[in-house]
A and B are shown apart, each in its own frame.
Chain A
């Protein structure tokens, strides 16, 4: 697939705090009816870091993303996002914080009565203070990043699954968020389209240094992210040289029965002697 044209954007680094973490979970627990979904989960996501969350279905991965956004409240524990404690924030205050976070939902969650343009521009239109030509420019930029400029007047029902996912990414990145949350961005897609999506995520990671939390069922997606980088000159994703490390740190978090059983980088994951982890990654 030809590499998408890189829009002239500066990385979001200047919007970040230098050393604070982007996300921190402290002893977070949550139960639905009688099922303990998360049991005293603790982890942190540093600025600029990408963390891939793994676990079997129902292990609480998507729940962690919703808790991060404040869409749900935990039963106990604290969650800090960009230095603010979301567990104590009102819905009104959360709306302001969410302006700095982008989220790509599992089934894209595009508004089906809006065109692609209206979907991608939603946040800008809701702002109310951005001129129409500025909105149009930024929508075109975001859609060119995901290589879907030609779909601007189409409705989500007219798009394929992969295209909807890419539009969802465009919608998430249009405001240059400091943190992006991906909920199974390649779920249900064929391998070729999945690679396209992964390439976009790697590009977003390497070009804009955005902190990311990625929920995925596909181990190979995370491995590709850990062993590839986005080359700005070639404008495409390329494998890292043998022995080389990714410039942007990427770590893995594995959940089992509501608990964190692994939190580390690719090297530590490969060396892990835990039977469940070895079976999971084999």
Chain B
């Protein structure tokens, strides 16, 4: 084989399935450990607060921007359809329910996944390939307690609040489009938006970020801790973490929505 030749290695379906099952097993073990660590000392509260600052406060600018523009574009798009039926005043309800139950949690989750799952994977991946994780174990510290659990707790808590902020900014964006571009009354918009929400909407909209936060942090940490192959491996882990976390958010969203509709009923 000459220098510069590119070789593709094919693996059998059985090998592929084995690899994926092993990965799933390792992921499940990491998830189990990260939850079990919540009931074991030490708790690394300082690390949790640090991560909460990095994940929560650090993600605030993008969450504000995406929330605001998502609400604005939702109002804009729905305006053209609603005006055909003379129901332009329903915009507030549409934006409100859409943002709170679905778009707020999902878009915020995807933004945080892109920013933080990649950050976790690259940071932990770099530590893995430079033997810092081994050094931590050699020094008597459990890396899942010190590194993984604080990130999981911080992401779950912060995504909950970031989603609330995103929902609010979405309503603000919708309000700006409604009043500035469509000529609707602002007070009527907010009254309508508020009155259209029922408890099951809010419950749905706040359960989802808890699950999404768990997915983002565990996937990011899993790919980081299982990195192999030097800097190339770190790059691969980072990309995979974002892709898998994003896809999982959408999959979890579907099943959680279905489950909550079954439990809480339709609007």
Taking Cβ atoms with an 8 Å cutoff, the residues of A that contact B are: 66, 69, 71, 91, 95-96, 98-99, 101, 103, 105-107, 109-112, 122-123, 126, 128, 171
Bound complex: CA of A71 vs CA of B140, how far in Å?
Answer: 11
Taking Cβ atoms with an 8 Å cutoff, the residues of B that contact A are: 42, 127, 130-132, 134-142
Q: Given A95-B141, A98-B138: A105 and B42 within 8 A (CB)?
A: no
Residues of B with C-beta under 8 A to A96: 140
Bound complex: CA of A69 vs CA of B138, how far in Å?
Answer: 7
**How close is A261's CB to chain B, nearest CB, in angstroms?**
28
Number of A-B contacts (CB under 8 A): 51
In the complex, residue of chain A having the shortest beta-carbon distance to the beta carbon of B138: A103
Query: Which residue from A91, A101, A107, A122 sits with its C-beta under 8 Å from B131?
Result: A107
Query: Which residue from B42, B135, B140, B141 sits with its C-beta under 8 Å from A109?
Result: B135
Query: Which residue from A103, A106, A111 sits with its C-beta under 8 Å from B132?
Result: A111
Interface centre among A98, A110, A126 (most CB of B within 10 A): A126
Do B137 and A109 have beta carbons less than 8 Å apart?
Answer: no
Do B131 and A95 have beta carbons less than 8 Å apart?
Answer: no
Query: Which residue from A107, A112, A123, A128 sits with its C-beta under 8 Å from B139?
Result: A123
Residues of B with C-beta under 8 A to A66: 134
Not counting A98-B140, A109-B135, a sample of 13 additional A-B residue pairs whose C-beta atoms are within 8 angstroms of each other reads A66-B134, A69-B137, A71-B134, A71-B137, A91-B142, A98-B137, A98-B138, A101-B138, A107-B131, A110-B135, A112-B130, A123-B139, A126-B140
In the complex, residue of chain B having the shortest beta-carbon distance to the beta carbon of A101: B138
Bound complex: CA of A66 vs CA of B134, how far in Å?
Answer: 9
Do B138 and A126 have beta carbons less than 8 Å apart?
Answer: no
In the complex, residue of chain A having the shortest beta-carbon distance to the beta carbon of B139: A123
**How close is B121's CB to chain A, nearest CB, in angstroms?**
16
Q: Given A107-B130, A109-B130, A128-B42: A99 and B140 within 8 A (CB)?
A: yes
Query: Which residue from A71, A107, A111 sits with its C-beta under 8 Å from B138?
Result: A71
Do B140 and A106 have beta carbons less than 8 Å apart?
Answer: no
Supply 20 A–B pairs (Cβ within 8 Å), ascending by A.
A71-B137, A91-B137, A95-B141, A95-B142, A96-B140, A98-B139, A98-B140, A99-B140, A101-B138, A105-B131, A105-B134, A107-B130, A107-B131, A109-B132, A109-B135, A110-B132, A110-B135, A111-B135, A128-B42, A171-B139
